[in-house]
Structures are given as C-alpha cells and as structure tokens.
Structure 1
Amino acid sequence: MDARAIIAAVRGKTTPTQEELTWFAQGLASGDVSDAQAGAFAMAVVLNGLSDEGRVALTQGMRDSGDVMAWDLPGPVIDKHSTGGVGDCVSLILAPALAACGAYVPMISGRGLGHTGGTLDKLEAIPGLNINVTDKQLRLITREVGCAIVSATGQIAPADRRLYAIRDVTATVESVDLITASILSKKLAAGLESLILDVKCGSGAFMKTHDEARKLARALVDAANGAGCKTAALITDMNEPLAPALGNAVEVAVCMEVLAGNTAAAPRLYDLTVALCAQLLVMQGEDAASAADRVTVAISSGAAMERFAQMIAALGGPPDMAHDWHTHLPKAPVVGEVTAPASGHIAAIDGEALGLVVVGLGGGRKVETDRVDPSVGLTEMVGLGDAVSRGDPLCVLHAADEDAAIAAAQAVQAAITIGDPVEPGPLIIEGIT
C-alpha cells in the first residue's frame, strides 16, 4: 500500500478501506509513514472527515498498532478521559479516589494539546517523578496501589503517540474522527471494562457548542461500546476554568488541597470529579446515591490522598508528597496580581485565550520540542458572575520574568469580559449512553 494514495483518498472525500487505515496506523507506529505524510493525513481528515466505519477502523488500527492489555485483578478495571479544557485536573483526584473505592485505574494519559494542559505535564511538575514506565511496571503499580497515571508505554497504541504529537503542532486538533481514534485507541488497548468520558463544551474546550460536544460524545460512546468497552459520557461546561488554577504545578497544588479535604478550594473541580467517579461505579452495578457517598468518603477520609501519595512514590516522586507538597512543587520567580480594568461582573471568560496565556508563559508547547516550565500559570481565577471593582484581582500570575508577566497580564485582561451580571450554566449539561 501507499501512504500517498490513502492521503489522496481522504483529500478527495473518500474514506479508505479498513485494511488501508490499519496499514496506515501500522506505518505510523513503524515509521514507514513520514511526519509530512502523517501531517497531511491529519489535515485531510480535519477538512473532509471519515465515515462512521472509517472512524472505527482507524481507532481499531491504532489500538492494534501495539499490545492490547488483559487484566486479572480482584476489582473492576475502569478509567476516565476528558476531551480537554483549562484548569481540568480531574484525573489527579479521580484515579486515587476510585482506587480507594476498590477499583483499578490504569490511566494512560497525554501531554498538553493546543491550549489545554496535559495530565502528564502536570504530574511531571512533581520532582523525580517518571511517567515513562514499562508494561511490567504499569501492571505492578496498578495492582499494588490501585491506580497508575502514566504515558503510553512503547507497546500501547504507538500509532497514537506519533499522531498525537503531530496534531498538536499542525493545527489539526479539532476533529471528531482524530479525537475519537486518539482517545479510544489508548483506552481500548488498556483493557478496560468501563470508561467514562468527560466531553467539554464551551469557550475553553475544543468543542465550543453543545451540538459539537454531543456529536463527539456520540461518536466516542458508539465506537467504544461497539468495540466491547462499556462506555458513557457526560457533556460538561467549560465556559470558565474548571479549577481556579491554570498551569502545571499550580493545578497539582489545587488537587492536593482537595485531596487533603479542602474541597472549597475548587468546588467545581470537586463536584465534577465525584460525578464522574460515581457514574463509573454505577456502570459497575452500584446504586447512584451510594456510589457518590463512597467517593466523597474516599476523599474526605484521606484514603484517596494516601493512594495518590503511594502512586507518586511508586513513580519515583517524593515519598512525603501527601504531607509536604508545598515544599516539593516548583515556584515561579515572578508572582503578582492581574487587576480588573473596570467595575462590574465577570460576564464572559475566553478559556482558550487563558490556556494560550499559560502556553505563552512557557507552561505548554508551541512546537513539539519546546520544554515546559512547570512553575508558571494563573491562580485564584475569578469565576463567571463574580462582582469586581476596578483594581480588584482577576487572578494571580506566576511567570518566569517581568516581560513575560506584563504580556500575560494584558492577555488575561483581554480574555475576561466585565459587564452585567450573568448566571453560570450547569456544570453537567447532559449524559450520553
């Protein structure tokens, strides 16, 4: 087969056959498909799309480009995936909370994509931590701790590892077909029994409208269920950051506060985490009310924090993370408030613009080879509907130098609209099964 012919087919609005897409996925994994060809394929898919059958075929081909895991554990093997937003650090709380509830969570995560932060980048803000583990280490940590948040091993969906990085730097992120194949190839290769999808909708999401989010959720749920993994989705609001912090170390710090029992530090983050955990337990046959209660107890009792700390230590991080995280997380040298230029209420927040502020500070990547500064970001973010007076803080900015701070402050002010009072919409918009 010829990669050029497959690219030409998609460019001409014809979906390649299952055999062709399987071959292309294998070529991504082996290197037989070049970076230029991978980028051209991704752009053709963004512009013209694949059929439903083509989407499933690409997903399965990418899944089968490496090993597919099987488990023999005394509890359900379950997981969650978010389609990406700003201030979205749910995974760092959800995985240990589920582990404390008796589930096993082999969470294969990704790095930052476009304006959104990546779970692996956040974890790597913790000194000494290594998210690049072998298949044997992933199995051992999952069995002993109950959860492991790691990069895909070299054997898990290697085609996605390659295409994911290329999408990030070629403006080909926003595609239902590519997002579906990327998410599900890794998750299905992890051998899950159940999967919950958090499909973001709004200014800080890739899917800006409810209709776009529903289309993606439907594609993901149908493809995953068709492949034999019990899957549901929640469409959730991303018209403001989920947590009041954006960046790597600062988001880890917020998660540590929640795991320590201070749920008021990030109420939207906490509420959504509980809802996603509970939905996964319900998919395993639990009653909805008791499932939510079990998750809240796992967090309030400190059991989830204990699992998180065990996971961090198992991945090479500090052994005392549960009690001394403030000491271990890096701090930016320049810290200051970004103030409101006028009085009124927070009427709109451009989440994508805020995400790009963090990228501009060095907290994300503009090109694939960029190094991430884990210390930079935004904290104490205002929320929709908040009242502010001129000169009040909109957030606290953490930067590497004064010039970066000045540019970022101006961009933050431009991303936040101050006007008449607004009523924020519901956090959970719709469930898809």
Structure 2
Amino acid sequence: MDARSIILRLREKETLSADEIRWFAKGLADGTVTDAQAGAFAMATCLNGLGDAGRVALTQAMRDSGDVMTWDLPGPVVDKHSTGGVGDCVSLILAPALAACGAYVPMISGRGLGHTGGTLDKLEAIPGVNTEVSEAKFRQMVGALGCAIVSATGDMAPADKRLYAIRDVTSTVESIDLITASILSKKLAAGLETLVLDVKCGSGAFMGSTDEAKALAQALVSTANGADCATLALVTDMNSPLAPAAGNALEVRECLRVLEGRRQGVLLQLTAALGGALLREAGLATDEAKGRSMIRAAIASGQAREIFAQMIKALGGPDDVTEACLPEAPVVLEVCASNAGVITRMDARALGEAVVHLGGGRLYGGQKLDMAVGLSDLGRVGDAVEKDAPLAMVHAADETAAATAAKVVRGAISIGEAADATPLILETIE
C-alpha cells in the first residue's frame, strides 16, 4: 500500500477501503505521507468525495492517529460543538448546566477562527485563567466538577492537525467530508458517548445557506453515529449575533448575566434547546421538553453558576468570578440609529470582522488579543428601534479604532419598515 495508489484510486472516483484510509491517516500522523500527497488527497476528496463509509473510516482513522481518552464515571460523557458564529458563547453556560444535571462534559475547545470567536479566548478574558492543563488535571476537573473546558491535551488527532493546515493553503477547506472528519475526530478522541451539534447558517456562519448547513449537519450526524457516538444536530440561525455582544470579555459578561438569572433572550433559549436535546439523547431526560426544563432549572437555582465559578477557579481564575473581574476598554462609543423602524438586515460576518479588527480576534498567527474590545448592546433582525437610539456600543482601545468600527456597524445594520425574523432553530437532524 502506498500514497500514490490511494490518491490515484480516489482521483478516478473509486471507493477506498477502510484499510487504505487508515494507512493514509497514519501516514499523515507519522510523516510517511508528504505535504504534496496530503494536498492531492485533500483535493481529490474535495472534488470526488469519500462516500458515507469512507467518511466514517477517515473520521475513525484520524481519531485513532493519536491519544484517545476513556472514562469511568457515574454518568454519561457528553459534549456540544458549534460550527462557529458571532456572539456564540453557549458553551460557557451549557457545560456547567449539563454538569448540574448529572452529565460529565470533557469539553475540548478551540480558539477564534476567522470572524468567529473562540471559546478558549473567551475564557482567558477572565484574569488568571489558563486553559492549557495536563490530562491529569483535566480528568480531575471533569470528575470533581462535572465539566472542564480546556484546550487539546496530549497528542490528540495529529493526522487532522496535519491535514487541516494543508487544507487551509490548498483551497480544500469547504469539503463536507473533510470538515466532518476534522470536527469529529477531535471530539471523538475525547471519549464521548453522546454529542449535540449546533450547525449554524446565515450571514455570520461558515455555511451561508440553509441547504449547505443541513447537508453538513446530516453528514456530521450520520458519521458520528457510524463511529458509535450517539449524535444529533440543530440547524440554527446566524443572521444576527446570538448574544447581544461580540468580543471576549463582553461575551463572558453576557454569560454571567444568564447564569445569574439577569438576562433572558435567545442565548438562554438556544442553550436550553441544545441542552434539552443532549439530555434526552443521553438518557437523563424523558424528552426534550423535560431536558430544556432541567437546563433552565439548573441555571435558575444558581447551581450552574456555582459550577462555572469552581471551574474558573480550578483554571487559575479568581475565587468567585464576577463582571467586576473582567477587563474594560478605555473607549466606549455609542452607534445610534439614523431613523426609526425595524432591523431588517444584519451582516453578522461584518460585525464579527469588526471585532477582529478592533483587536478581539487574530489577523495573523500568534497575535495577542485585546480581551476588552468588541461590540455590545446589539439587537437582532426584527427588533424595533427608535431614531437616535443605540444600535450598538463599540468598545475600543482608542478613538480611531472606535470610529472605524462604528462605520462598519452602521453599514452592517439596515433599518426598514418591517422584517420577517428567521426562527432561531430551523431543523433538528437525528
């Protein structure tokens, strides 16, 4: 078996065997496969696809290319993954809420990608927090608290790490087969029993159309189930930022408000929906309605808030995290509506890019983030606004950056006479 023959068969639209795919994944991890061969494999996959069985085989092979965790805990091991959006800080609320409901959540998360924020960056906006922990520390936190949100530990899915970097420079990122294997290989390496996926579509998502998002959701669900992880997906709207804020510390502030019962709205709604579906799938709730009630009760009782505080302390943060702990930008600029009406359009991607250019995201690898900057007081499509009322507050490092971001905000939000707001949850795929 060799890389050339595997690439040739894939180029000729022949079906690869599971053994061939495993061999190739092993070669990605140990260097037997060259960068040129990896790029050719990615392009052939992007053009011709692997088929359902091949997608499962690649996912499992990349999962097994490095460390795979196992757990012995008195409850189901579960997780949630989002395909990325603006103002999406659900994980920070959902993980402790699930733990309060009897689940165990070993959440291995990532940093910001493009215009979307990263869960690890948001957590590290809290002074002292360090999400890079040892496997022993990770296991201890999950066992004691019920959840831990950390960066990848050990050598997990090295084949994916190699292939991802090559896809980024060979215009093969968009392949559903490669996206699916990349997402799931890392999640399944964490030893999950049950997974819920939040597949976003709209102006702030990587999948712009509903059809694209549904196709990805179906591929993810069928592949994960084929790899023996019970999985379902919610296809959700990302034509408006999810939280009323975008930016690391600003989103943590919104999470604290939800956890403390001071903020309702779509962020809580989606948290409860994802959690309810996951609790039902994991056998902790009789149905999704009961699961949603359990999530809301865990938040209303303050139990989720307490678990979140303990997790932050365990990661090196303050003894009791509050809004007062979070950094604040020196310049705050109000962006006001030029006329009364209804928000008819929001370019969520442009709003996310505004946060990146304020310093809240990365324009190049290794860039140090300004955790305090971003946008707050954001509405949603369908919201009524009055003339001269704030559309957003820009939090910036200086006046020039604030003015530039304000111009982007004005261009990203349209006001008219009426708008049909898109439902938050478009479809559930099992």
The question of a shared fold, defined as TM-score above 0.5 by the shorter chain, is answered with: yes
Distance in 2 between the 1:40 and 1:358 partners? 35
Distance in 1 between the 2:32 and 2:66 partners? 15
Alignment CA distance shift 1:260-1:43 (3 Å): farther
Distance in 2 between the 1:410 and 1:56 partners? 46
1:56 alignment partner, SS class: helix
Shift in Å, 1:31: 5.2
1:283 aligns with 2:281: yes
Corresponding letter in the other structure for 1:270: L
Distance in 2 between the 1:14 and 1:410 partners? 52
Query: 1:327 is matched with which residue: 308, 313, 324?
Result: 324
Distance in 2 between the 1:170 and 1:49 partners? 16
Aligned partner of 1:142 in structure 2 is 142
2:323 alignment partner, SS class: helix
Shift in Å, 1:164: 4.5
Deviates most, 236-245 or 379-388? 379-388
CA contact (8 A) 1:50 1:177 kept: yes
Distance in 1 between the 2:228 and 2:413 partners? 43
2:84 alignment partner, SS class: coil
Aligned partner of 1:269 in structure 2 is 267
Corresponding letter in the other structure for 1:287: T
Aligned sequence identity (%): 64
CA contact (8 A) 1:10 1:44 kept: yes
Alignment CA distance shift 1:246-1:209 (3 Å): same
Aligned partner of 1:377 in structure 2 is 374
CA contact (8 A) 1:382 1:394 kept: yes
Aligned partner of 2:176 in structure 1 is 176
Deviates most, 191-200 or 31-40? 31-40
Aligned partner of 2:61 in structure 1 is 61
1:123 aligns with 2:131: no
Aligned partner of 1:255 in structure 2 is 255
Alignment CA distance shift 1:261-1:34 (3 Å): farther
* 1:41-60 alignment, distance < 5 Å: 42=42, 45-46=45-46, 49-60=49-60
1:246 alignment partner, SS class: coil
Deviates most, 77-86 or 415-424? 415-424
Corresponding letter in the other structure for 1:394: L
CA contact (8 A) 1:258 1:270 kept: yes
1:101 aligns with 2:101: yes
2:128 alignment partner, SS class: coil
Alignment CA distance shift 1:39-1:124 (3 Å): farther
Corresponding letter in the other structure for 2:183: I
Shift in Å, 1:173: 4.2
Distance in 2 between the 1:362 and 1:8 partners? 45
Corresponding letter in the other structure for 1:429: L
Alignment CA distance shift 1:110-1:320 (3 Å): same
Distance in 2 between the 1:170 and 1:398 partners? 36
1:346 alignment partner, SS class: strand
Corresponding letter in the other structure for 1:350: D
Distance in 1 between the 2:247 and 2:6 partners? 39
Aligned partner of 2:306 in structure 1 is 306
Distance in 2 between the 1:132 and 1:367 partners? 21
Q: CA RMSD in A?
A: 2.4
Alignment length (residue pairs): 428
Corresponding letter in the other structure for 2:153: T
Shift in Å, 1:22: 3.1
Aligned partner of 1:338 in structure 2 is 335
Aligned partner of 1:75 in structure 2 is 75
Shift in Å, 1:24: 4.1
Corresponding letter in the other structure for 1:272: L
Shift in Å, 1:134: 1.9
Deviates most, 146-155 or 385-394? 385-394
CA deviations 1:368-424 (Å, max 9, x no partner) are 232222111111102111223443321011112222222211111111122231131
Distance in 2 between the 1:272 and 1:428 partners? 8
Aligned partner of 1:404 in structure 2 is 401
Alignment CA distance shift 1:96-1:39 (3 Å): farther
Alignment CA distance shift 1:72-1:92 (3 Å): same
Shift in Å, 1:326: 2.1
Shift in Å, 1:25: 3.2
Shift in Å, 1:29: 3.6
* 1:149-168 alignment, distance < 5 Å: 149-164=149-164
Shift in Å, 1:263: 2.9
Aligned partner of 2:194 in structure 1 is 194
CA deviations 1:235-265 (Å, max 9, x no partner) are 111111111111111111100110111132x
1:263 alignment partner, SS class: coil
Aligned partner of 1:352 in structure 2 is 349
Aligned partner of 2:26 in structure 1 is 26
Alignment CA distance shift 1:399-1:79 (3 Å): same
Distance in 2 between the 1:21 and 1:248 partners? 39
Deviates most, 177-186 or 219-228? 177-186
1:386 aligns with 2:373: no
Alignment CA distance shift 1:69-1:337 (3 Å): same
Distance in 1 between the 2:148 and 2:237 partners? 27
Aligned partner of 1:204 in structure 2 is 204
2:370 alignment partner, SS class: coil
Distance in 2 between the 1:52 and 1:114 partners? 29
1:385 alignment partner, SS class: coil
CA contact (8 A) 2:59 2:180 kept: yes
Corresponding letter in the other structure for 1:146: G
Distance in 1 between the 2:357 and 2:6 partners? 36
Corresponding letter in the other structure for 1:159: A
2:89 alignment partner, SS class: coil
Distance in 2 between the 1:135 and 1:93 partners? 23
Shift in Å, 1:274: 0.7
Alignment CA distance shift 1:33-1:388 (3 Å): farther
2:150 alignment partner, SS class: strand
CA contact (8 A) 1:174 1:206 kept: no
Aligned partner of 2:217 in structure 1 is 217
Distance in 2 between the 1:127 and 1:395 partners? 26
Alignment CA distance shift 1:230-1:327 (3 Å): same
Distance in 2 between the 1:202 and 1:33 partners? 37
